Structures are given as structure tokens and as C-alpha cells.
Amino acid sequence: MDFSPTSNGCIRGIKCTADINGQCPAQLKAPGGCNNPCTVFKTDQYCCNSGSCGPTNFSKFFKDRCPDAYSYPKDDQTSTFTCPGGTNYRVVFCP
């Protein structure tokens, strides 16, 4: 996926060209895709209900393949992007 701003001077867009569905860990496989760990395990470790969670083996799996992705609550600032209101975007699902 490529999600890129086309107006308003944003610094950059986000991109992930990994085959997440094809490489999905067995525990997270779902028909036609990949579930998130909170949906599957329903534990604080993966759902971060306490507000004090950190990266997990699954968030690292996604982050390794898609470094721009915000992979868990409180992920680092390299995965936080903002653009001014009124920005136009180009979205490409299979770049």
C-alpha cells in the first residue's frame, strides 16, 4: 500500500509493499487475511488496555516488514505522520 499526500506540503507519505497476508504468522491467519493479536488473544499484552504496553513478537513482525506502520500503541515517532487539514492523498493498494 502507498498512501501519499499530493497537496499541502506534507513531508512524506507511508508505504508498505510487504505481502502481509502471505507471510502472516499461523496464529493470526484469518480467511482472506491476517488478524491483529488483540482480536485473537484478547490479553493486555496485545490489546494494551493498561496503557503501559510495549512491542511484542507480532508487532515486531509487522514493523520489520512495514517500517512506516504504527504497529502497537505507543510505537515510536518514526511511525507517526500528520498533514494539515484539507490535504489530498493518493492511495495505491498494490504498488
pLDDT tens, residue by residue, 41-94: 999 888 888 777 888 999 899 889 998 888 877 777 777 778 888 899 999 987
Distance CA 8, CA 85 (A): 9
Which comes out higher in pLDDT, residue 95 or 17? Answer: 17
Task: Specify the pTM.
Answer: 0.74
Determine contact, residues 94/22, Cβ cutoff 8 Å: no
Q: What is the pLDDT of residue 49?
A: 81
CATH of the domain at 6: 2.60.110.10
The H or E element containing residue 91 is strand 89-92
Total of domains in the chain? 1
- Between the two ends of the chain, the Cα-to-Cα distance in Å is 6
| Residue span of the structural domain in which 9 resides | 2-92
